[in-house]
């Protein structure tokens, strides 16, 4: 940082145990925390910066009840030109800070015919499509300080946290629009062709998006508990006769519409987690 921002760095954040990664238009998730301290990504040495609309590019430290949290208001994507090592750097920083659980959120397009725009999908599993093509954050020499060479991914998403998310969601009256499903990551930046969308549906994907999987993979690799929540911002076109065309503005509009509900859900989840002392998979 330059001389004018030196004072910013005199702040010593309390050691966070929960990290929340906010997807497109979801920076508001940090609003439930108190005693917030905000740092711009551009002021953090070697930290990537956000280039996508709806990603504020700030790291926010704060507290929810007695839980110390860190929020990423905006995350990074392969299509921005970042390597997956850069995309996932914050997760490893969180691990080094003492974070134990990561709550990853994003926006995605619904493929499951039952899904509606505005549904919140609790991720039970994922398909790492870029990973199939060698775009994988764990490629390269394995750093044993963070995890083993061949990590198991069959239980990437914590069962306890998924159950708790469902419980908290129905308590908040969100039961009608909470789902569970399989998320597929594509690299983007274009939205899917109809043939691609049909292929993904046949493969068993309930929703498709352009993020999250690298962060989840690195989090699981280094032993963090993971919860993934994906907001269904649009229905993916599976039919050549469909007139509507998806765009990023629509994605942001739906995120804005659901951000407050998601913020309540995330805040309550974090306080319940502590009350129930959830610490197993």
Ligand X SMILES: O=P(O)(O)O[C@@H]1C[C@H](O)[C@@H](CO)O1
Q: Is 12 a catalytic residue?
A: no
Q: Please list every residue from 135 through 174 that binds ligand X, using CB under 6 A.
A: none
Q: Are 212 and 235 in contact (CB under 8 A)?
A: no
Smaller CB separation from ligand X, 106 or 267: 106
One of 41, 50, 55, 192 is an active-site residue; which one? 55
Side-chain half-sphere of 241: how many Cα atoms within 13 Å?
Answer: 0
Contact (CB, 8 A) for 43 and 1: yes
Give catalytic status of residue 107 as yes or no: yes
Closest to ligand X by CB, 198 vs 248, is 248
Are 101 and 161 contacting, i.e. CB atoms less than 8 angstroms apart?
A: yes
Distance CA 136, CA 146 (A): 16
Among ligand HPA, ligand X, none, partner that 234 touches (CB below 5 to 8 angstroms by kind): ligand HPA
Of the residues 101, 128, 234, 255, only one is catalytic, namely 234
For 220, the enclosing helix (H) or strand (E) is helix 213-221
Distances (CA, A) of 146 to 191, 198, 222: 33, 37, 5
Angle, alpha carbons 228-178-118 (nearest 5°): 90
Interface residues with ligand HPA (CB under 6 A) are 107-109, 191-192, 208-210, 233-234, 236, 246, 251
Residue 80: active-site member: yes
Q: Which of 107, 185, 197, 259 is catalytic?
A: 107
Closest residue to ligand HPA: CB criterion: 109
Q: Choose from ligand HPA, ligand X, none: what does 248 bind? Cβ within 5-8 Å by kind.
A: ligand X
- In the list ligand X, ligand HPA, none, the entry touching 169 (Cβ below 5 to 8 angstroms by class) is none
Three-class secondary structure of residue 35 per DSSP: strand
Catalytic residues: 24, 55, 77, 79-80, 107, 210-211, 234, 248
């Amino acid at each position: 940082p330059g001389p004018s921002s030196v004072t910013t760095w005199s702040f010593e954040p309390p050691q966070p145990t929960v990290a929340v990664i906010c997807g497109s238009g979801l920076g508001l998730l940090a609003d439930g925390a108190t005693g917030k301290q905000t740092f711009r990504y551009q002021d953090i040495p070697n930290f990537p910066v956000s280039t996508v609309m709806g990603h504020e590019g700030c790291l926010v430290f704060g507290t929810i009840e007695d839980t110390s949290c860190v929020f990423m208001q905006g995350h990074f994507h392969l299509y921005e030109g970042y390597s997956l090592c850069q995309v996932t750097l914050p997760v490893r920083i969180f691990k080094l800070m003492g974070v134990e659980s990561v709550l990853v959120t994003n926006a995605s397009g619904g493929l499951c015919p039952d899904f509606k725009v505005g549904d919140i999908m609790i991720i039970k599993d994922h398909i790492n499509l870029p990973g199939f093509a060698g775009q994988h954050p764990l490629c390269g020499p394995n750093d044993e300080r963070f995890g083993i060479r061949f990590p198991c991914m069959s239980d990437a998403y914590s069962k306890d946290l998924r159950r708790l998310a469902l419980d908290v969601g129905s308590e908040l009256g969100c039961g009608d629009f909470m789902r569970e499903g399989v998320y597929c990551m594509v690299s983007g930046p274009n939205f899917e062709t109809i043939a691609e969308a049909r292929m993904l549906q046949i493969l068993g994907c309930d929703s498709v998006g352009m993020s999250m999987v690298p962060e989840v993979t690195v989090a699981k690799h280094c032993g963090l508990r993971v919860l993934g929540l994906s907001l269904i911002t649009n229905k993916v076109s599976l039919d050549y006769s469909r007139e509507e065309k998806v765009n990023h503005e629509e994605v942001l509009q739906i995120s804005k519409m659901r951000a407050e509900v998601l913020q309540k859900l995330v805040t309550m989840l974090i306080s319940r987690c502590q009350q129930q002392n959830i610490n197993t998979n």
